[in-house]
Amino acid sequence: MTYTYPDIVAALNRVAPYDWDGFWHRLLDRTSTHAPLAGIVRGGWKLAYGEKPNEYEKALVATRHVMLAPWFTLGLRLKNKGAVTDVLWNGPAFKAGMAPGMVLVAVDGERFSPAVLKRAIAASVTDFAPIRLTVKNQGRVERFSVDYHGPLKYPQLVRIKGTPDYLDQILAPKKA
């Protein structure tokens, strides 16, 4: 049996009366420049960015040989050997013209390694020249100037002082 949109709205209203039609249209018919964080904020937390990797990032780097550090800085998702697997829409690397499928071979003229890239990002805090990335793209060598000037950034959840901590209650193991 298939369901229509009006069927779903009616079913939700039978469970909990609410403007479900308006709710879904607000979520599905619009875009936003940021993630929908209201639930996390109402849970007593906020999203912030710090210079140290969170546990999830550490696990991905250790188990999948992925270097995610530049995702929240340059807007690049990289494998450790420099393969660009994703580019953040409208991020610094996107604006410079980079795309998935490229392979990073040098950073500011130095042979690529995760450590070299991290050093270039750290230096960008005080150096106002763009980070120069050299890539191989379908057999061609190309150069991109990525305009980023800040530290490495990793997402972190931070408690909002003076608010109830509902998120920890929700995530707590179920008591038998």
In degrees and rounded to multiples of 5, residue 134 shows phi and psi of -110, 130
Residue-level pLDDT at 68:
65
Positive or negative torsion for Cα 160, 161, 165, 166: negative
pTM over 0.85: no
Give the C-alpha separation, 57 to 154, whole Å. 8
* Ranges in the chain, pLDDT < 70: 68-69
Residue-level pLDDT at 67:
72
Spell out the domain ranges in the chain: 1-30, 64-146
Residue-level pLDDT at 136:
97
Residue-level pLDDT at 57:
84
Which of 172, 174, 169 has its CA nearest to residue 43? 169
Among the CATH numbers 3.20.80.10, 2.30.42.10, 2.40.40.20, 3.40.50.720, which is that of 64-146?
Answer: 2.30.42.10
- The token duo for 100 is 């998935």
